[in-house]
Chain A
Amino acid sequence: MTGRLSPRFTTPLLALLVLGLFLLPWIAGRYPVYLAMQILILAVFSLGFNLLFGYTGLLSFGQAGFFAVGAYGSAKILLAVPNLILGIAGGVAAAGVAAFLLGILSVRHTRIYFSMLTLAFGMMIYSLAWKWRDFTGGDDGLVGVPRAPIDIPGLLSISVAAQDRYYYVVLVLSLLAIAAMYRLVRSPLGLTLQAIRDSEIRTEFAGVPVRKYRLVAFTIAGVYAGLAGALLAPLENTVTPPIAHWTMSAEPVLATLIGGIHTFGGPIVGAFLFFVIKDIIVRYTEYWLIWFGVIVVALVMGFPSGIMSIFAQRPK
């Protein structure tokens, strides 16, 4: 990690944090555990978004569409076949396929044109969720999505119906997703994406098929959004159309901006702050949007490169 803090300091700190997360159900009440799941899900969602935005230079306003595909895919499978592995894998695969197909059309453009295309595709998915009542349940959504057991026929069957047990599913998958992304952004693929972000023309002249790399980044971001959505469906037991709305796409954008787009941990820290700040404010006023806005403006103005800019420099 390129940063001002040395690994001698950060490694034990991260180990302690992970240990704390594993011990959370023993040391905290039900609501903090629920909140931790929400934060982890937004962190995974935001990490995928930042692969596009921070590492590839593409600002997508349509990630909620893939989040919803993951959530609806997972919910439909879990309502038909009560097997959590199938549900989550199916949701992720559906989001990946949707991202790949829409990515072929989206990555033909960059800058505002790319953003508008992704916004349009995201809202198309929102309309589908709203209108395709036979499949999605329309405005009432899909209700009663079970936290089905982790089931490998003939081998094991672990019940995760209790919230504390499901927390470990979310925690383990989120940590794996974070670790995979950490490796990815430091791999040749990740470095090539950063090269495309910094100079598309120079990278193209170096013989890199820029559009294909962008499509790969777009698909991976879709897979991460899908994983986040697939984890949300059993947590909430319900999936409804607003999760596909563009306002949902704004959440990873805000979380990433608050945390910092040029640091790996920025979206994760941003997701934490996003939820915690909102959670504090809504306890005291129903006019939370005003106060939340004031605090986000203060954070963005006070830390234009995100909160994580305190600790780290922009990766080379």
Chain B
Amino acid sequence: MSKNFTALGSIVVFTVFLFPGGPAQAQAQCKLGVPSIKVGVQGVASGPLADYGRQIEMGATLATEEINAAGGVLGCRVEMRFMDDENRAATGVKNTRLLVTDWGANFTVGTDSSGVAMALGPVLAELKRIQFFTHAATQRLTEELVAAKGIKEIVRVSAPIYQDAIVAALLFKDRKDIKRWATIGADYEYGYVAWNLFKETLRKYRPDVEFVGEAWAPFLTLDFSPHIAAVMAQKPDAIFATPWGGEAVQLLRQALIQGVFDNVQVWWQAMGGSVDVLEGIAAEVAKDRFKGKLWATARYIHNWPDTPENKAFVERFRKRWARFPNYSAETTYSAFFIMKAAVEKAQSLDTVRVLGALKGMQIRNPAGVRVFRSEDQQFIYNVPAGRPVIDPKYPIPVLGDLKVFEAKDYYRNPPFTPVAITK
């Protein structure tokens, strides 16, 4: 028995010493009277989408370091803690409760998954803490939970699903050679809503267009060949594709193998402008295997806008992490500076006062000028669409031949009408 206790004791001691912790150093000159401003951050950091969470963490870390190096927020040091939400709503909720009620987070930032984001909404209202969402794209987060249900603790910094769907409709509405569209869609709400919004918008401009095929790929699909074959059997002129991350890379490679780019005029890969996708298809882009027919966008692309702020941000990010910033990195980085500006204006960490300070905010971020819209607490900004191309200035492909649309032309506006969220 004593041997067993010794073994148990060893494990406990091992755990405690392995993960030591200590109180944060107080900052004497903090005008808010707190030892530090605590910001809890979470994203997917395990599993096949882990790079998105990693990019969130990199953006948050860089922002924290830069803010602290410049004297903090009203003299208060910013303290950041990142947690893996495992792409599971239950874990995201548990993390938020830990970060707010145990660690004492003043704000939370991040969240990749729409499902996790929707689960967090009621919890944020209960805890009375603001979360700046930096990736989750479902329109329901802002249209339903904020505008309709009044959960004011939700603020979204990243572009929602309008970017994926409505931009595509505006981009291709004048292509008279494209009359037959088909989708290879993500088999969950994101895929359905993107396709429905795209169809709804394009029909307004092009009543002659037909939507001839749909194939839905569940999360973590590895073999897209049956989906590709199913839609190609309908002889579409163009494909609207919404699988993202590593799935998008796999889908595009299999489409090349099946000769899709010999038979369609356009392939729209909604979030294909993400750094991980561009890295994944670098060899194919270099050989021009997509024949200029592949188009994509993202919630931020590192080669646009062509401003000193953006260039400097990308340079600092590359120096710090030896990677290009993905959109979830930029949106998270910017969320910290939005939080900083709001706290400085409110002169307080109080949720209601900080929300008040966000009203009317226009802020220049690496992605350009973001404007806060009070009705749904969505920050509005432009992101262009383009074709993946090789640019000698960059070691990975970038989106080129950029088409810029004004955000006011492609963001849905309040009062919101419901969007079909089924196939």
Contact = CB atoms under 8 A, between A and B. Distances in A.
A303 B101 contact: no
Contacts of A286: 45-46, 53, 57, 82-84
B376 to A, nearest CB: 17
B119 A284 contact: no
A240 B87 CA distance: 11
Given A138-B189, A279-B98, A303-B4, A298 B119 contact: no
Nearest to A245: B88
B8 A140 contact: no
A310 B101 contact: no
A221 to B, nearest CB: 21
Nearest to A240: B89
Top 5 nearest A-B pairs (CB, nearest first) are: A31-B102, A139-B188, A238-B119, A284-B19, A30-B101
Interface string B303-327: 0000000000000000000000000
15 contacts: A31-B98, A34-B101, A134-B422, A140-B140, A236-B90, A237-B122, A238-B119, A240-B88, A242-B88, A242-B89, A279-B98, A286-B57, A288-B84, A299-B11, A310-B4
A144 interface: yes
A141 B119 contact: yes
A307 B144 CA distance: 47
Contacts of B368: none
B11 A140 contact: no
B122 A238 contact: yes
A73 to B, nearest CB: 17
Contacts of B98: 31, 279, 282-283
A4 interface: yes
Given A238-B93, A302-B7, A310-B1, A295 B82 contact: no
Contact of B101 (A29, A38, A144, A309): A29
Contacts of B57: 286
B89 A298 contact: no
B207 to A, nearest CB: 29
A236 B119 contact: yes
B94 A140 contact: no
B371 interface: no
Contact of A289 (B18, B46, B189): B46
Nearest to A236: B93
A14 interface: no
A281 interface: yes
A187 to B, nearest CB: 31
Interface size class of B (residues with CB under 8 A): 35 or more
Interface in A1-50: 4, 29-32, 34, 38
Given A139-B114, A238-B118, A282-B84, 6 more contacts: A31-B101, A236-B90, A283-B19, A286-B57, A288-B84, A302-B7
A140 B88 contact: no
B243 interface: no
B121 interface: yes
A238 to B, nearest CB: 4
A257 interface: no
A232 B121 CA distance: 17
A240 B119 contact: yes
B25 interface: no
Interface-central residue, A134, A139, A284, by most chain B CB under 10 Å = A139
A291 B46 CA distance: 13
B218 interface: yes
B84 A295 contact: no
B188 A237 contact: no
Contact of A243 (B1, B81, B90, B219): B90
Contacts of A310: 1, 4-5, 8
B340 interface: no
Contacts of B121: 143
Contacts of B114: 139-140
A280 interface: yes
Interface in A206-252: 232, 236-238, 240, 242-243
Given A31-B102, A236-B90, A130 B218 contact: yes
A232 B149 CA distance: 23
Chain B binding site: helix, strand, loop or mixed by DSSP? helix
A38 B94 contact: yes
B15 interface: yes
B151 to A, nearest CB: 10
A259 B352 CA distance: 46
B138 interface: yes
Interface in B67-115: 81-84, 87-90, 93-95, 97-98, 101-103, 114-115
Interface string B25-38: 00000000000000
A280 B97 contact: no
B363 interface: no
Contact of B89 (A34, A38, A238): A238
B61 to A, nearest CB: 12
Interface in B226-277: none
Contacts of B188: 130, 138-139
A38 B93 CA distance: 12
Contacts of A288: 84
B390 interface: no
B341 interface: no
A236 B89 contact: yes
A236 B53 CA distance: 23
Contact of B15 (A163, A240, A295): A295
A250 to B, nearest CB: 13
Nearest to B119: A238
Nearest to B6: A302
B123 interface: yes
Contacts of A303: 4, 7-8
B4 A237 contact: no
A44 B149 CA distance: 34
A237 B140 CA distance: 17
B21 interface: yes
Nearest to A147: B126
A139 B422 contact: no
A277 interface: yes
Contact of A133 (B14, B89, B218, B422): B422
Given A31-B102, A34-B101, A282-B83, A302 B93 contact: no
Nearest to A298: B11
Interface in A135-156: 138-141, 143-144
Contact of B123 (A237, A277, A309): A237
Contacts of B422: 133-134
Contacts of A38: 94
Interface in A265-297: 277, 279-286, 288-289, 291, 295
Given A4-B1, A286-B53, A310-B5, A30 B21 contact: no
